[in-house]
Structure 1
Amino acid sequence: MTTFIHFSAARRRSSKFVPWTILVITTVARAQSPAIDDTPIQPIFVTANPLGANALVSPSSSIDGNALALRRADSVGETLNGLPGVSTTTYGPMVGRPIIRGMDGDRIRLLQNGVASYDASSLSYDHAVPQDTLSVERVEIVRGPAALLYGGNAIGGVVNTIDNRIPREPIEGVSGQVDASYGGANDARAGAAQVEGGNGRFAFHVDAFDRETSKERIPGFAHSDQQRALDGPDVPQPYGSIPNSDGRWHGGAVGSSYTWADGYAGISYNGYEANYGSVAEDDVRLRMHQDHIAAASEIRNLQGPFSQLKFDFGYTDYEHKEIDNGETGTTFRNHGYEARIEARHRKIGPLDGAIGVQVSQNTFSALGDEALVPTSQTTNAALFGLEEWSVTDALKLSLGARYEHVNIDPTSGGNEKFAASPKRDFNAGSVSAGALFRLNPAWSVVGNVAYTERAPTYYELYSNGPHDATGQYLIGNPDAQKEQALSTDLSLRFASGPNKASAGVFYSRFRNYLTEFNTGRLVDDDDQPVAPGTDDALNEAVYRGVRAEFYGIELDGTWRVFDKGAQRLDVEFVADYTHARNVDTGEPLPRISPLRATLALDYAYGPYGARTELVHAWAQDRVPENDLPTGSYTTLGVILTYKFRFGATNWLAYVRGQNLTNQEVRYATSVVRDIAPEGGRSVMIGLRTAF
């Protein structure tokens, strides 16, 4: 994996290795020569493990450098879609939140440098994640129960985006990079730039990004064959593009830090603005704004019982407005903070570990026509810890635990339908155990088991209003209890030089899995029954706890089939499958990705590169009674790259073709799959440079 775009001859990083630093991989990359280098750098994966171990017990994936640049899409979810066990929600090209092993919403924790960055994306599928991947240096994904150190709402996994807005290591001189691209199925015009500098003690970071898109082009009708049959003859049928699918977002950041031999301390600010259309409503635009302030510090080589101390803090002020025909219908706000302290202790006998404290508080409100929930303040305080024991050179054991108290306090704000909403308190505990056993230097077996509890969210408790994005009138369950899950996974791993592979299975069984159930009634915006065929009729749905189970497989591997001189050829394979059902009724759970497989050939000859990727998704016929199935599809993608130097700068030029077979692609995970498919055939050109 190439990382030359981060290098600078003017920069000198400290050579001291700090395994606990959240940005260690970035630090390692930046310490290299500015010369173009394809030598893979072994990452230190820290999202799932504050001890910074290479050999993680948890199932995990990461992506950075040029590999991330060549995957970048218009949303975080689409950028990560196709990694093992990872799919995405969609609500048009601008909106996509990661799904891990069939779980989405509040069961997937989205972090920015290890702490929360509040938004409204878990509440509704039409709410974008306010982050552009142009500003991200690395993404780490942890699948399954090993993510519990980040809370019960990481029961399905964690996605941690990492940047260098607070420099963690000394910088000398000034360096920067620029990234620009054009194309795709929506003619996206995107660009980003960053500059960093320092004198070996004080360091600064400045970045900015901008992305603008036109309507998304598609191979045929926007509505699926099944949906057009239900629409009737008088419903307009868009063809060739998705109406109201254009948008623009931009933002930037400034940050600074002071570094010394055994640590750093810094602060940063970043802002984000977006304006995009709702693909389900031709006259609705969403205008989004987010301010985020972060502070971070780490002290190493301490005396006493703790050898390292790390602190992360983030405060977010988020707002978005839904504009209907030029008038603001609903304003969503979410503001709050999260702070996390981790302390790595000295060895206690054979145990190496860390303990920590996390506190957070945020207030969410939805004001206006779609006042779906009352203004709700959620306060969380938690203790967590992780211990590892290297029993032998071949066997490593790990044990993690977390205990948290969650308080949810609603306020009616004069809205009578929320007047009786009760305050709720929850105590949630989670514990996990894992083992890694090396069969020989190349092969290992890894297993995890965990018990996890998740407190209900404000919208699962107090929803009482129309939700036009999903065509529902949602009713919460104010008496809902904690969600409880027993999860396990087992995998066989192989690693030998450039050849790597993993084959794993997972199983999770939930007690009181909170999900939406349609009551069968059609209602209006005031929850009054209406006759079938009534304009703007909504399906009434209630939150209810059921027993549920998820199980599946994940396969991925890379094999170097040719390596001679300046040439190499790798074959890559990824496949995953998730089966999810309501145990009480046997009915499938909604929006589950089908069996998927990706086969890729990655060729390099000196500065030239070529990658061909074939993706096949099978049909998804296992859907709830009122859902429509999705068909299979096969897409072909090609990426051509050329790396060169001009003076003291490094350059990467690339051309990326997507869906070259011009397939009609409808993700089973999308709530708008029958009215807004994915983009058709497209070509994008891009250029990156570092100085």
Structure 2
Amino acid sequence: MARIHRGKRKGVVAKDIRRRRRRMGPAIAAAALGAFAMTAQTAGSAARASIAPPERDGVARTYRIPAGTVASALTELADQNGMHVLYPAGATRGMRTPGLAGRHSLPQALDLLLSGTGLAYRLDENGRTVSIVLAQAETGRHSDVGVAQELPPIDVGAERRAAQTKDVSTPGTTILGEEDLARPKATAVDTTELLKQVPGVSLYTGGGVSNLPVIRGLADDRLNILVDGVNVTSACENHMNPPLSYIDPSRIGKIEVFSGVTPVSKGGDSIGGSIIVEPPAPLFSERKGEYTVSGRVGAFYRSNVDSPGVNATVRAGTDDVAIDYSFAYSKARSYRRGKGGSPFDPSLWELDAANNYLRFLGDGAVLDGSLWEATRHSGRLAFKTDNGLLSFDMAGHHIPYQGFPNLPMDMTLNNSLQGGGRYQGVFDWGSLDARVYYQRTNHEMDNLLERSRNPRTHMLMKDLGVDFGYRLKAEIPLDERNLLRVGNEYHQFRLENWYPNVTPWYRMPLEFLSVHEGRRERVGTYAELQTVWTGEWTSLLGMRNDVVWMNAGPVNGYRNNAYDKLFAIPFNAADRARTDVNFDATASIRYTPTSWSAYELGFARKTRSPNLFERYSWWDHNTMVGWAGDSNGYAGNLDLKPEVAYHVAFSAEWRDPDGDDWSLKVSPYYTYVDQFIWARAERYFVPDARILGLQYVNIDRAELYGVDLSGRYAFLRGSPIGDLTLRGNLNFVRGTYVDRGRGRPCPAVGTSVDFFCGPTDWPVAGMQVQSSGSLYHIMPLNGRIALEHSIGDFSSAAELQLVASKTYVSVNHGEPRTPGYALLNLRAGYRFDKFRIDAGIDNVFDTLYYPPLGGVAADETFRTNPVAKRLVPGMGRSAYIGLTVEF
């Protein structure tokens, strides 16, 4: 049976243990969470009427369920009533409903939603559970047991997963439910691997478990990424620990990707799309006095990197208390690139200073420094209250090492502790969702021994980052058509980024303070109105204000000599406090004229303030700063302004009336960004190789435009050889900029350290830059097409991944071009009872290729003579197998 229940997810709570700070975090978190719970209990008498089964006391409520599938309508009905809805998987397949608007009792709502479907409903004794059953008469839909028959029980949760993944009521959004995620989760180690099939999404490749997602040309901090409803800041000047690295793929229950217009209620302080990751809901027993236990254990192996991995989840609950625990571990050696390239090509050889050939960088050579190891733990405790759900979360992550071939440093330690709490309640006036959260991250960087055995090349760096905040959201039905969402958020990030002066390899007079006492605080407030005009038309209007405060303390270099003081003195003398007042607005309208078509048009004004590194990186052009993986050095800018994006997106989706045979989605878009934060070239480090020093600046404008296409076609359904489905997507994005400025004049002119001022280093009058061109790190035309086969419990697929040559590059960054390529991937899976086995081969022909967003291989670049940029190669052929057991 499919099951839908109230209380969807959890939250987070913990204690603030920030070093050298008064420990006020736990008191604030506990007081805030206690206030939320007390508010719910104080309103208990008023709330219980809306939580109690409406049919038992005749209470009606206001519904606003849009037209769509019956499965999605039942999901929404359960959420609005705080009840359980049980129905057989497959019973609602192909069924659609015109939706529901107005004030109705629960029986009236069910009658309207199930009208003409041949389904009826049954209420249990306590009135908390509705069972959907098959009526004997085609028009039967009433709760009379005498005219209904039970359908055979089917896998719990299957139909809800289908509803999450197949509903097209929001064409501009991609929702990946548990059914979509089951296969890739079986062998994935990085959450971004689960996004590869989403139209418009690409990846900055880096560490094995820390890739950075890109949506329609915008990446990293320009995206709104929520992990279990929490904003997590990358506590690293290379962004080695991005938000999605803090949740293991095996723990994920649902992913929402907003490629177009993101509602203001989903988040702010970003100009791109949104990625919202959620674990499964707590598991409660269906009957009072009983308990239930379920779980999953998985193991996998990948051949190319000799990578074993295990994960496990255990969930248990009574009718009002639930607990779960998850564990995951994986490790890998450095990967082997594909085979190819001519040994007579000098660019594929690693040379020493005397031009001696050391190593051929083709034919399956290992990419040094691409190894990793990661361990993740998470737990949750949840309680049902009279009118909602109260939950507490805690998670810990330990990465002892992770190589980054496209960065000058590797991760040598990353420990984090996360925690928080969440309260979800339903009241007469609507619903409340409140959470507090805390995360502390200790991060270290250095060169792993695999990349550098010379003590002189070691350089230890440390980061201590603390995130703390809360999120409040209320949903208030105004009438039968309008739903108001209002909310308030607070997020604080504190950072200490320093380079120790005493290490096993060297001693310096002083600690190098890169970002000292960095602080970034944000308060966001929003209001959003969702209106169901008719069964076909729905609109969404939102306004949001975010106020961002930033500051940092005084700094110094290792020696505080004349060169260090050249940059430190003006930085320390400046007023470093900054306040940005930002405003966002969104408007979208959705039209669903038939059961097989949906259209959505949206507009958004989105604003993002700079991050701490963009504003407060002070020393020269520090090659340790930057997340593009390009071997360039970057300098911050105290005078940066927030960037403002104006975004227009349209999405259209068509499908066959039954929703099973074919579908097609087309999504064109255009984005104009004012005050775009750009890295402007200012000096040469290696002129011939175009390795540069750049400063973050605001430029006149940037523009991005493109289109995403995706579709599927099923054929030979029910044939003796099984079902076949052709599935694919095609993504195109183009990005351009206009910059009428020029680089800063060399600051050392007339000083004792003016030796680096000159035309081949830092031009005295400033570097003349290209006034217009292509934006940096924009994915070329790319797509995937797969032929999928299924028969019974067996499934398989052959997938072709196609990427065009990258010819539009940023000359300003010295971005290299990349050749196009085609990769063939094969996979198969078999599920029987509680067991699932998945196997496959990626890059079947062991092709040597270079991902367009993979960056520059730092070590291989500087091991050439003369120095020349070498691209990070993709992984060669790799076979994998995964086994999952559920209980």
Alignment of 1:33-72 (within 5 A): 35=155, 41-44=161-164, 55-56=169-170, 58-65=172-179, 67-70=181-184
SS in 1 for 2:638: coil
The corresponding residue for 2:412 is 286
Matched residue, 1:502:
665
What is the Cα deviation at residue 177 of structure 1?
0.5
**CA separation of 1:293 and 1:221: change in aligned 2, threshold 3 A:** farther
Q: CA deviation at 1:601?
A: 1.4
Shift of 1:34: 6.3
Correspondence for 1:185: 304
1:538 and 1:191, CA in 2 relative to 1: closer, same or farther beyond 3 A?
same
CA distance in 2 between counterparts of 1:22 and 1:656 reads 38
Q: CA contact under 8 A between 2:395 and 2:418: conserved in structure 1?
A: yes
Task: Give yes or no for the alignment of 1:161 onto 2:277.
Answer: yes
Local SS of the residue matching 2:478: strand
Aligned to 1:315: 438
- Between the aligned partners of 1:532 and 1:565, the Cα distance in structure 2 is 64
Task: Tell me: CA distance 1:184–1:592, structure 2 relative to 1, closer, same or farther (3 Å).
Answer: farther
| Paired amino acid for 1:347 | L
**Do the aligned partners of 1:658 and 1:682 also contact (CA within 8 Å) in 2?**
yes
SS at match of 2:717: strand
Shift in alpha-carbon separation, 1:335–1:209, aligned structure 2, 3 A: same
SS across alignment from 1:376: strand
Return the letter of the residue paired with 1:120: A
Rounded to whole Å, the distance in 2 between the matches of 1:40 and 1:586 is: 49
1:404 matched to 2:579 = no
Q: Quick check: 1:84–1:554 contact (8 Å CA) kept in 2?
A: yes
CA offsets per residue over residues 609-632 of structure 1, 9 Å max, x none?
Answer: 111111111111000122111111
Q: Name the larger-Rg structure.
A: 2
Q: Distance in 2 between matches of 1:30 and 1:571?
A: 30
Partner in structure 1 of residue 711 of structure 2: 557
1:87 maps onto 2:206 in alignment: no
Report how far residue 152 of structure 1 moved.
3.8
Q: Any idea what the Cα deviations from partners look like across 1:279-303, whole Å, max 9, x if unmatched? A: 2579844311111102111111x12
Structure 1: how far apart are the matches of 2:377 and 2:432?
29
- Corresponding position: 1:299 with 2:420: no
Q: Which moved more, 1:245-254 or 1:276-285?
A: 276-285
* Residues 563-597 of structure 1, C-alpha deviations (whole Å, 9 max, x = no match): 11683221111111110011343311111111111
Contact 1:388 1:396 in 2 (8 A): yes
Which has the larger share of strand? 1
In the alignment, which residue of structure 1 is the partner of 2:745?
none
Does the 8 Å contact 2:731/2:781 carry over to 1? yes
Contact 1:102–1:550 (8 Å) recurs in 2: yes
Give the aligned residue type for 1:603.
H
Residue 819 of structure 2: aligned partner: 631
- Aligned residue for 2:395? 270
Question: How many pairs align?
Answer: 654
The partner residue of 1:378 within 510, 517, 520 is 520
Contact 1:90/1:125 (8 A) holds in 2: no
Change (3 A) 1:299 1:236: farther
State the Cα deviation string for residues 168-214 of structure 1 (Å, max 9, x = none).
75573111111111114212211100111111111100111100111
Cα distance in 2, alignment partners of residues 28 and 573 from structure 1: 34
Q: What is the CA-CA distance between 1:31 and the residue it aligns to?
A: 9.4
Alignment of 1:165-564 (within 5 A): 167=282, 172-220=291-339, 228=348, 233-234=355-356, 236-237=358-359, 238-239=361-362, 240-260=365-385, 262-274=387-399, 275-280=401-406, 284-300=410-426, 302-303=427-428, 306-324=429-447, 329-348=460-479, 350-368=481-499, 371-412=513-554, 417=568, 418-419=571-572, 420=574, 422-465=576-619, 466-468=622-624, 470-496=630-656, 497-498=659-660, 499-522=662-685, 539-546=692-699, 547-564=701-718
User: How far apart are the structure 2 equivalents of 1:463 and 1:29?
Assistant: 56
**Pairwise CA distance, 1:64:** 3.0
Any idea what the Cα deviations from partners look like across 1:432-458, whole Å, max 9, x if unmatched?
111111232212221101111222222
Q: Displacement, 1:268?
A: 1.2
Amino acid at match of 1:384: Y
Contact 1:614–1:634 (Cα < 8 Å) also in 2: yes
Q: 1:61 to 1:38 in 2, by over 3 A?
A: closer
TM-score scaled by length of structure 2 = 0.68
Q: Which residue of 2 aligns with 1:571?
A: 726
C-alpha displacement of 1:368: 0.4
The structure-2 alpha-carbon separation of the partners of 1:610 and 1:257, relative to structure 1 and needing over 3 Å to count, comes to same
C-alpha distance in 1 between matches for 2:424 and 2:706: 39
Give the match for residue 841 of structure 2: 657
- 2:425·2:433 contact (CA, 8 Å) conserved in 1? yes
**Amino acid paired to 1:313:** V
Between 577-586 and 369-378, the greater mean CA deviation after superposition: 369-378
- Work out the CA distance in 2 between the residues paired with 1:191 and 1:213: 13
Distance change >3 Å, CA 607–CA 168, structure 1 → 2? closer
Offset, 1:116? 1.3
Opposite residue 670 of structure 1, the aligned amino acid is G
- CA spacing shift, 1:28–1:385, aligned 2, 3 Å: farther
Cα separation, partners in 2 of 1:15 and 1:250, compared to 1, 3 Å:
farther
In structure 2, how many angstroms separate the alpha carbons of the residues matched to 1:521 and 1:600?
Answer: 45
Cα distance per residue 1:492-533 (max 9 Å; x no partner)? 1113312322101000001111011221332xxxxxxxx758
Q: CA deviation at 1:92?
A: 4.3
> In the alignment, residue 254 of structure 1 is paired with which amino acid?
G
Report how far residue 634 of structure 1 moved: 0.7
Q: Is the 8 A contact 2:306 2:332 kept in 1?
A: yes
**1:632-691 residue CA offsets vs partner (Å, 9 max, x unmatched):** 11111111111112xxxx110111211112222322122236442121111101111110
Q: For 2:248, which of 118, 132, 145 is the aligned residue? A: 132
Quote the Cα distance in structure 1 between the aligned partners of 2:647 and 2:194: 27
Q: Deviations over 1:134-184 (max 9, x none)?
A: 2222222111332543444332111122114x7275573111111111114
Residue 605 (structure 1) aligns with: 791
Cα–Cα, structure 1 residues 577 and 669, in superposed 2: closer, same or farther, change >3 Å? same
Amino acid at match of 1:154: S
Q: Distance in 1 between matches of 2:855 and 2:78?
A: 39
Alpha-carbon contact 1:614-1:636 (below 8 Å) kept: yes
Q: TM-score, normalised by structure 1?
A: 0.87
User: Against the structure 1 CA distance between its residues 195 and 74, is the aligned structure 2 distance closer, same or farther, given a 3 Å change threshold?
Assistant: closer
Looking at structure 2, the residues matched to 332 and 222 of structure 1 have their Cα atoms a distance apart, in angstroms, of: 40
Q: 1:421 to 1:462 in 2, by over 3 A?
A: farther
Distance apart, 1:230 and its partner CA = 10
Are the counterparts in 2 of residues 500 and 559 from structure 1 also a CA contact under 8 Å?
yes
Contact between 2:283 and 2:316, CA under 8 Å: does it hold in 1? no
Q: What one-letter code is carried by the residue in structure 2 that aligns with 1:631? A: P
Deviation string 1:405-446 (CA, Å, 9 cap, x unpaired) is 110021125566242361000110000111111232212221
- Distance in 1, matches of 2:514 and 2:688, equals 24
Partner deviation per Cα, 1:540-571 (whole Å, 9 max, x = no partner): 11111120000000011122212116832211
User: How far did residue 42 of structure 1 move?
Assistant: 4.2
Larger CA deviation: 272-281 vs 487-496: 272-281
Residue range with higher mean Cα deviation, 58-67 or 342-351: 58-67
Shift of the 30–515 alpha-carbon distance from structure 1 to 2, 3 Å rule, reads farther
Compared CA separation, residues 677 and 36, structure 1 to 2 (3 A): farther
Corresponding residue of 2:235: 120
Residues 43 and 320 of structure 1, relative CA distance in 2, 3 Å threshold:
farther
**Closer, same or farther: CA 104–20 of 1 in aligned 2, 3 Å:** farther
